């Protein structure tokens, strides 16, 4: 059965897709107590155990770096990562666990680029996010600086920026500027809003998605992700052959 036939089937859902086909999650908030994600180590271990059950082989957790709210730096994140790795090993959780960051695009991020103090994953990939209310004036200048410093920008949850919902070609403009695009799996459930879901589906239809991530903060996110495995659009993006998640296992 073709994707289109499955998409418009009476069931409206498919058999749960095997998330081992994704291999690595590259957006989550699992280091305890340093942002709005996991509050303690017990919660972190429960989430990591669930990632393993779902078929993931690696989790790259990405705490917020936002100077006015989450004043994390490389030292805080890497020391937190070490604690998580040690606890997961002791608990017998068979996951590779790494860390980078989710950088809020602002002057502080620009300063970190100037000082070569940016945490990366994969091939010098850097995950960054935008404010949800409006496109920042400094977006293109900071991206140019990031690229000139040898980093590969990855825009977090591009489908969630409502200011682009009526002009999605703004995302295509970033793609043309060699920015990679990450989609939250849970956006496809409608959990953020129907508009976010529609934007995510359109991005998949247009072949704009390079990475998918959980953006996991708490157990509810993994519960929604578990349910999302039956969604035709999650099948479509995983089966597209475009995703770079598996490359992160190298």
* pLDDT cut 90: percent of the chain above it: 93
pLDDT in tens, 51-78: 999 999 999 999 999 988 899 999 999 9
| pLDDT of 221 over the 80 cut | yes
**CA–CA distance, 121 with 61 (Å, rounded to integer):** 10
| pLDDT of 2 over the 60 cut | no
pLDDT for the residue numbered 13: 85
pLDDT in tens, 82-100: 999 999 999 999 999 999 9
| pLDDT of 5 over the 80 cut | no
Higher per-residue confidence, 12 vs 103: 103
| pLDDT of 10 over the 70 cut | no
The answer, as to whether pTM is greater than 0.85, is yes
| pLDDT of 211 over the 50 cut | yes
Q: Which domains does the chain have, with CATH numbers?
A: 19-249 (3.20.20.140)
pLDDT for the residue numbered 1: 43
Tell how strand 180-184 and strand 211-213 pair up: parallel
Average pLDDT, the chain: 95
pLDDT for the residue numbered 11: 45
């Amino acid at each position: 059965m073709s994707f289109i036939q499955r998409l418009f089937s009476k069931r409206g859902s498919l058999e749960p897709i095997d998330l081992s086909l994704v291999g690595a999650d590259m957006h989550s908030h699992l280091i305890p107590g340093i942002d709005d994600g996991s509050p303690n180590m017990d919660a972190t271990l429960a989430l990591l155990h669930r990632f393993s059950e779902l078929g993931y082989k690696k989790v790259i957790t990405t705490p917020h770096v936002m100077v006015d709210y989450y004043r994390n730096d490389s030292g805080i994140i890497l020391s937190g990562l070490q604690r998580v790795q040690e606890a997961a090993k002791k608990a017998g959780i068979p996951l590779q666990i790494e860390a980078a960051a989710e950088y809020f695009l602002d002057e502080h991020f620009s300063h970190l680029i100037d000082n070569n103090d940016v945490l990366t994953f994969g091939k010098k990939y850097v995950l960054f996010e935008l404010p949800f209310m409006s496109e920042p004036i400094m977006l293109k200048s900071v991206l140019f600086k990031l690229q000139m410093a040898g980093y590969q920008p990855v825009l977090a949850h591009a489908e969630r920026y409502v200011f682009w919902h009526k002009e999605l070609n703004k995302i295509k403009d970033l793609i043309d500027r060699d920015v990679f695009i990450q989609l939250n799996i849970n956006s496809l459930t409608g959990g953020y809003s129907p508009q976010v879901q529609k934007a995510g589906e359109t991005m998949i239809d247009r072949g704009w998605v390079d990475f998918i991530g959980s953006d996991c903060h708490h157990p509810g996110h993994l519960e929604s992700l578990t349910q999302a495995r039956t969604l035709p659009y999650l099948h479509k993006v995983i089966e597209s052959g475009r995703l770079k998640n598996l490359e992160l296992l190298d």
